[in-house]
Amino acid sequence: MRMRILFIKLLHIGDNLLLTPTIVATKERFPDAEIWVAVRRGTEGILAGCPEISRIVTTARPEEGRRTALDFGKDLATLAEIASSRFDYVFELGDNNRGRILAAASRAKIRCTNSYERPEGIPLSPFWKGRFTHLVTSGHGPVHQVLRDYNAVRETLSLAEEPPSMRFVQERRTAHPLENSIEGAYAVVHAATRWSSKSWPLDRWKKVTAELLQRFPQVIISCGPNPREIAEAETLCEGFGGRVLSTKGALTWSQLACLLGSASLFVGVDTAAMHLAAAVQCPSVVLFGHPPSYQFRPWKCPHRVVRSKDSMIETERYKLPGDQLMSEITVDMAIEAIESILSGKI
């Protein structure tokens, strides 16, 4: 019987993509293994570009008001499937009880999860410690999230010391509806976010878009399907004589990967789109408020991070409101980072 490995990460869309280096390294180490991934329902699309995954199972979002009786039934089916599938290894990487329930239900020979000590994280209770065979207590600290995932798996599976890049292969990228409207080089701007700690004033994004048009024939405004995001994207397109186009929140992750894969530059905030740009090796300029850029900056991709109070000790900086930190980023700071990456300066 083939070795079967399950990774559980019931978090946000971008977090799934950050798991792909660990998945790729695991498949390289065990090429005949069957790799399963459990994620939140609705976030699985961004994993379409990782062919190393054999199967994806999903659970409902945990927020009150979003779950239905149908979701409950699907979650029971997912739990039953995991419980009956005979995994050799299970890794719970989302640090939440919903993921731990799935790991415990798997009855895998090796069940592994992170175990933190304060102030780095909330310690596991004795109950949950008893549900796992391996507890990872090192490799956390102020490191990139890719490394946190990787370090939780590396020793148990004897993976290579250094994780690879994120994964969204060329063959899994699909044509997008803007292809016939784009001529020549272009930049992609992704200003949309639902988090105030990551939001930057729309008038500043407008100025950055104008600056980008001095360097590229066209700019594409990327956004999600939320009506507010679509409206903001349309506002950023206005007044530029048709040289700025919006995705209108209509692209799939495979289509957005195609758009970003051919772009000369990505400029945006810390979102799943930013991580997708890194996965397809699109040079990026990213504005950060919260969370820390060391943990979520583009992974193994040419990039520049723009932050206010960048010299402040991170533990002190994190005490400041994210919206304040974002508001203190000036247009000139963003343009300087764009000039830096376009000129190839370190």
Domain boundary among 157, 188, 219: 157
Q: Kindly tell me if the per-residue pLDDT of 64 is higher than 60.
A: no
pLDDT at 65 over 60: no
Q: Average pLDDT in the 198-221 region?
A: 98
325 shares a domain with 300: yes
Q: Quick one: 52 and 132 in the same domain? A: yes
Instruction: Give yes or no: residues 262 and 338 share one domain.
Output: yes
Q: What CATH number is attached to the domain comprising 241?
A: 3.40.50.2000
In our burial notation (b when 16+ CB lie closer than 10 A, e otherwise), range 136-162 reads beebbeeebbbbbbbbbbbeebebeee
132 and 28 co-located in one domain: yes
Indicate the pTM of the whole model: 0.95
> Is the per-residue pLDDT at 328 higher than 90?
yes
Shared domain for 138 and 240, answered yes or no, is no
The residue with tokens 């009786």 is 69
Ramachandran region, residue 319 (left: φ > 0; alpha: ψ -120 to 50; beta: rest): alpha
The mean pLDDT value of the chain amounts to: 95
Out of 124, 157, 190, a domain closes at 157
Quick one: pLDDT at residue 254? 98
Whether residue 298 contacts residue 268, with contact meaning beta carbons closer than 8 Å, is answered with: no
Half-sphere exposure of 333 (CA within 13 A, CB side): 17
- Residue 144 within any structural domain of the chain: yes
> DSSP per residue over 139-152, as a string?
S-SS--HHHHHHHH
- pLDDT tens digits, residue range 224-262? 999 999 999 999 999 999 999 999 999 999 999 999 999
pLDDT in tens, 165-201: 999 999 999 999 999 999 999 999 999 999 999 999 9
Token pair, residue 62, equals 């945990």
Residue 66 has pLDDT above 70, yes or no: no
Walk across the sheet containing 55-59 and list its strands. Answer: 55-59, 34-40, 4-8, 89-92, 110-114, 134-136
CB neighbours (10 Å) of residue 49? 24
CA–CA gap between residue 8 and residue 185 (Å, rounded): 39
Determine, yes or no, domain membership for 168: no
Q: From start to end of the chain, where are the E strands? A: 4-8, 34-40, 55-59, 89-92, 110-114, 134-136, 186-190, 218-221, 244-246, 265-269, 284-287, 303-306
Single out the residue of 22, 40, 17 nearest to residue 96, CA to CA: 40
* DSSP string computed for 97-113: HHHHHHHHHHT-SEEEE
d(CA 227, CA 223): 10
Within this chain, do residues 177 and 153 fall inside the same structural domain, yes or no? no
Alpha-carbon span 116 to 137, nearest angstrom: 6
Residue 162 belongs to some domain of the structure: no
Same domain, 17 and 119: yes
Assess if residue 167 is contained within a domain.
no
Q: Is residue 163 part of a domain?
A: no
Tell me the average pLDDT across 210-235: 98
Would you state the pLDDT for residue 71?
80
**For residues 118-122, average pLDDT:** 80
* Final residue in a domain of this structure, among 157, 192, 221: 157
The strand pairing partners of 91, in sequence order, are 7, 112
Q: Considering the domain boundaries, does residue 201 fall inside one?
A: yes
List, for residues 130-165, the tens digit of each pLDDT value: 999 999 998 888 999 999 999 999 999 999 999 999
The answer to whether 316 and 295 are in contact (CB under 8 A) is no
Q: Return the C-alpha torsion angle 84, 89, 94, 98, nearest 10.
A: 30
Identify whether 72 is part of a domain: yes
- Distance from the Cα of residue 121 to its chain's centroid: 21
| pLDDT of 67 | 66
Distance CA 276, CA 173 (A): 11
Q: Are residues 67 and 144 in the same domain?
A: yes
Residues 334 and 187 occupy one common structural domain: yes
146 and 206 housed in the same domain: no
Residue 149: which domain range? 4-157
| CA angle (40 as vertex; 141, 283 as ends), nearest 5 | 60
Q: Same structural domain for residues 146 and 202?
A: no
- pLDDT on residue 1: 74
Q: How many domains, in total, are found in the chain? A: 2
Residues 330 and 181 in one domain: yes
Give the other-Cβ count within 10 Å of 225's Cβ.
11
Within a domain: residue 202?
yes
Q: Which long-range contacts (CB under 8 A, 24 or more apart) does 128-131 make?
A: 128/97, 128/100, 131/100, 131/103, 131/104
